[in-house]
Amino acid sequence: MGSLSRIFLLACALVFGSVTVAAAADFRFPPEPVTSVPSAIAIPDYSNLWYLRGDVGYSINEDPDISLSGTSFTGEEIDESWSIGAGFGYNFTDNIRGDLTLDHRFEMDVTGTNPLTSAQSAATLASTVGLANLYYDFQDREEFAPYLGAGIGWTYNEMDGQTGAATQDESFELALAAMAGFSYRLGGEWLFDAGYRFLYLGGAQTGSTATAGALSIDDIYAHELRIGFRYELQ
């Protein structure tokens, strides 16, 4: 019986050892707690937000409504003229930007005929235009980007009479603008800008004299073709 007891105890030990090893093999330590890592916060790119601009334009003016002492003229014309301007702006997003511009439209001749006397009157007109403009770029300005824009501001019109009323008069008038064009990145921070601008410049008039009334223009409309450059500041 002693041998059988030893054999039985050895068998039990072997069985118990097998169960213990199996249980140990199945045991898993609790997993480490998972710590959520917040996603990276995008840092805004504040470079190239501000820009400077310079432009040259050629103005084709619509025939104006000219009158003298209440008499409407015929054959009214305003000659074409050149303009030069500068400004600074800000890129609010990849597609929306705005700028403040100041342009000077060089002196142009204004003519018309008085139907009562058949006499032709002549004057010169020059304008300085300040505008606040807002644009929408249809691309992100990386290469070719068509755009539309609108502007509002003021114009300082100077009209000097050459016949009849021989004095100069100045006035501040409401100015409105609508723009369409495109920009093209030349490389780095330089962009070429070309477009069309429609301008409303209010009215203008000459000074009157003791012998002649003021020669006045009711509304001035201009169609401008413009080219220029924009430089984005770092």
CATH number belonging to domain 50-232: 2.40.160.20
How much is the pLDDT for 88? 97
Which residues contact residue 107 at a Cβ distance below 8 angstroms, ignoring those fewer than 6 apart?
81, 124, 125, 126
Cβ(220)–Cβ(214) below 8 Å: no
Strand partners, 89: 51, 99
Domain boundaries, the chain: 50-232
What's the rounded Cα separation, in Å, for the pair 127 and 99? 20
pLDDT digits (tens, 9 = 90+) for 85-110: 999 999 999 999 999 999 999 999 99
**pLDDT for res 29:** 52
**How high is the pLDDT of residue 25?**
52
174: which residues sit within 8 A by CB, 6+ positions away?
152, 154, 155, 200, 202
CB of 108 within 8 A of CB of 124? yes
pLDDT in tens, 126-184: 999 999 999 999 988 788 999 999 999 999 999 988 665 557 889 999 999 999 999 99
E strands within the chain?
50-61, 66-68, 71-72, 74-78, 81-91, 96-113, 120-137, 144-161, 168-187, 190-200, 204-205, 215-217, 221-232
pLDDT at residue 97, rounded to an integer:
97
φ, ψ for residue 48 (rounded to 5)? 60, 30
With H, G, I as helix, E, B as strand and everything else as coil, classify residue 160: strand
Angle at 77 between CA 73 and CA 83, to 5 degrees: 140
The 10s digit of each residue's pLDDT in 1-26 is 555 455 555 555 554 555 454 445 55
For the stretch 176-211, pLDDT in tens is 999 999 999 998 899 999 999 999 999 998 887 766
Look at residue 183 in the predicted model and tell me its pLDDT: 96
Judged against a pLDDT cut of 90, whether residue 119 lies above it is answered with no
Q: Are residues 53 and 193 in contact, defined by beta-carbon separation less than 8 angstroms?
A: yes
Model pLDDT, residue 164: 55
For residue 32, what pLDDT is reported? 62
pLDDT digits (tens, 9 = 90+) for 42-101: 544 545 699 999 999 999 999 999 988 788 889 989 999 999 999 999 999 999 999 999
Structure tokens at 210: 């003791």
Q: What is the pLDDT of residue 19?
A: 47
For residues 179 and 150, the answer to whether their CB atoms sit within 8 Å is: yes
Tokens of 90: 């800000």
Instruction: Report helix, strand or coil for 3.
Output: helix
For residue 46, the model assigns a pLDDT of 46
Both tokens assigned to 46 = 């504040």
pLDDT of 39: 63
- Compute CA distances 75 → 87, 202, 215, whole Å: 36, 20, 14
Among candidate residues 103, 85, 77, the one with its CA nearest the CA of residue 157: 103
Give the model's pLDDT for residue 117: 86
